[in-house]
Amino acid sequence: MLINCDFHSHSGYAGGVGQISLLDLEVAMEKKGIDVFGTGDCLHPQWREFLKDNLVERKEGLFSNKDNKARFMLQTEVIFTAAVGSGRKSVHTVILFPSFESVENTCKLLDGMGVKNTIGRPFIKCVDRVDVSNRLSKILDVDDKIEAIPAHVMTPQGVYGSNNPIDKMKDFYGAATERITAVETGLSADPEILSLIPELDDYSLISNSDAHSAALNRMGREFTTVDTTSVSYGNIIDSIRKNKIARTAEFNPTEGRFFLTGHRAGKKGHNDAYCVFSPKYTPKDNKCPICSKKLTIGVLARALQLKEIQGGTRQFGELSPSTKDFVRMVPLVEVIAHSIGVLSVVSVKVVELYEKIIGIFGNEARIWFEKDETIRKKLASAELSDNVIENIIKVKNDDFCFSPPGFDGTYGKFSIGGKEDVFNVNLISGYVPGQKRLF
């Protein structure tokens, strides 16, 4: 049985959005084709109580909103911080729970550690990697079905990220690394990027949206299709641990906000100027040519560094033997908006076309795994414009790019057709008062 899972999300207590409705999430799950969705922030006192009051256990370890059929998995993200090198490193980690009892016991454990559980992502402050290992192990010991998954591993806040970089996962998680079986690719990486890192050959790769809302361009923008015998928490976790991942649906990493090295516009000393570089064009001293501060190192450059450090032999584009099938996709509302020349993905016209297309296929996920001729036939019968139809097929066939790619917290700029050569980006541009110029 194949089920689509999005294990990583957030509530309003993580910041960035207002309070989130479970009903809105369920409606979006149906449209996006997500069978199991992470609750986000389940350790937060108020959100935890809300979940307990509104969710009913339907299958072992999976919950629904009262009488509805959608399934939720109890989930949070935590931030472990520890001394690394000359500074401190903060690493985001997704944790999945089999029951409210395990959540409550983990909250008691964290309280005993002195963790302030007042924000969506609690900070677990540790002395060093030994302390990280001990504290993570204590969490995992609460219940043998609790699963810890390093989140968006290549971004600056990921375990391999450029903030106080480390060479191996054990350099941060210590001995508890042996209890980690999967990592999250994140929006700025995918199996092609992670195949450069030899150590990850032994891990399951999963993809999640890290969504902060039920918006159709956020929820399910990445997901994992799990091969399991039945829809239950235990079977899903077993599939993750044994790498029974059928496929992942990935954000194109060039859209991700940290794909290339650079500095975004708006930083101190930049005004409207920005710079973005592929690895071979990055200044040797990693200093920004505009503000002279250290550049934010991108995921591609970091993956290539780790390849060399770990003695990797695969070239970019060669996949690890353990890699499962994956597709790169763009949220359908974004494809529609781009196709009809509308900026807002929630405009009336975009929503009308989205609903019409979903009415034909049942949910969005099915489109990305459908045959081209079937897509054309079904959508033509709905009297959609040729441009919308062809753009959906182009995206499905990876005929799209982001130019410039994402960098330093800025999403890439979407373009259908053509390819951006991510190894030949060398862009330094911006404005000065009253004059446009290249730096």
Residue by residue, pLDDT tens for the chain (439 residues) are 999 999 999 998 887 666 788 999 999 999 999 999 999 999 999 999 999 999 999 889 999 987 777 799 999 999 999 999 889 999 999 999 999 999 999 999 999 999 988 888 999 999 999 999 999 999 999 999 999 999 999 999 999 999 899 999 999 999 999 999 999 999 999 999 999 999 999 999 999 999 999 999 999 999 999 999 999 999 999 999 999 999 999 999 999 999 999 999 989 988 889 999 999 999 999 999 999 999 999 999 999 999 999 999 999 999 999 899 999 999 999 999 999 999 999 999 999 999 999 999 999 999 999 999 999 999 988 888 899 999 999 999 999 999 899 999 999 999 998 788 999 999 998 644 443 333 3
Say whether both 138 and 216 belong to one domain. Answer: yes
Whether 372 and 420 map to the same domain: the answer is no
Backbone torsions φ then ψ of 267, nearest 5 degrees: -65, 160
CA pair distance 124, 132, nearest whole angstrom: 8
Domain identity same for 245 and 267: no
Instruction: Please give the Cα distance from 423 to 425 (Å, whole number).
Output: 6
Same domain, 381 and 422: no
- Using the 3D structure, point to which of 194, 219, 251 is the last residue of a domain: 251
Is 320 inside any structural domain? no
Q: Does residue 142 lie within any of the structural domains? A: yes
Judge whether 305 lies within some domain. no
Count structural domains, the chain. Answer: 3
CATH code for position 163? 3.20.20.140
63 in the same domain as 111: yes
The residue among 251, 284, 309 that closes a domain is 251
244, 266: one domain:
no
Contacts of 367 (CB under 8 A, 6+ apart): 332, 357, 361, 375, 392, 396
* pTM beyond 0.85, yes or no: yes
71-to-33, 79, 144 alpha-carbon distances in Å: 12, 26, 21
**Helix or strand holding residue 112 (H, E):** helix 100-112
Whole-angstrom CA distances from 153 to 42, 48, 187, 237, 303 are 21, 26, 10, 20, 10
Cα gap 346→296, rounded to integer Å: 32
Q: State the virtual CA torsion across 336, 342, 347, 350 in degrees, nearest 10.
A: -20
Asked if residue 284 and residue 155 are part of one domain, the reply reads no
* 71 token code pair: 């399934």
Q: Has residue 355 been placed in a domain?
A: yes
Say whether both 84 and 153 belong to one domain.
Answer: yes
Same domain? For 214 and 244 the reply is: yes
- Does 169 lie in the same domain as 28? yes
Same domain, 175 and 288: no
Residues 388, 361 share a domain: yes
In a domain, 325, yes or no: no
Q: Is residue 302 part of a domain?
A: no
- Domain hosting 428: range is 261-297+401-438
Last residue of a domain, one of 216, 232, 251: 251
Q: What H or E segment, with its residue span, contains residue 41?
A: none
Determine if the peptide bond prior to 404 is cis (ω within 30°): yes
Query: Dihedrals φ, ψ of 92, to 5°?
Result: -80, 135
In a domain, 16, yes or no: yes
